[in-house]
């Protein structure tokens, strides 16, 4: 059993932030929004592990002319 979990964010919470957001008026050229974090529970050390290079995988990338 985990001793404590300090902070948990659901994917739906991030998706609700982007709804109604006009990308073309706010971002002129490039937009990087959202990063995929593959966290997993390791029972050997009783901890939730996150891989170090988690910022290298952008989920959303769009360019505007």
Give tens-digit pLDDT for 13-59.
555 655 555 555 555 444 444 444 456 666 777 776 665 555 455 55
Task: Tell me what the mean pLDDT of segment 56-65 comes to.
Answer: 53
The Cα 18–Cα 59 span in angstroms is 13
Say yes or no to pLDDT of 3 above 70. Answer: no
27 — phi, psi (to 5°)? Answer: -120, 120
**pLDDT score, position 43:** 74
- At 51, list the tokens: 């891989």
The Cα 27–Cα 18 span in angstroms is 13
Indicate the domain borders of the chain. Answer: 11-63
Q: Which residue has the higher pLDDT, 5 or 55?
A: 5
Per the DSSP assignment, residues forming a β-bridge with 41 are: 48
**pLDDT score, position 45:** 73
Taking Cα atoms as reference points, which of 40, 36, 43, 26 lies closest to residue 60? Answer: 36
């Amino acid at each position: 059993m985990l001793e404590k979990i300090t902070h948990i964010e659901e994917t739906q919470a991030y998706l609700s932030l982007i709804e109604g957001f006009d990308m073309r008026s706010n971002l002129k050229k490039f937009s990087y929004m959202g990063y995929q974090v593959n966290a997993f529970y390791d029972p050997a050390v009783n901890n939730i592990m996150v891989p170090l290079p988690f910022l290298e995988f952008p989920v959303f990338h769009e360019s505007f002319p």
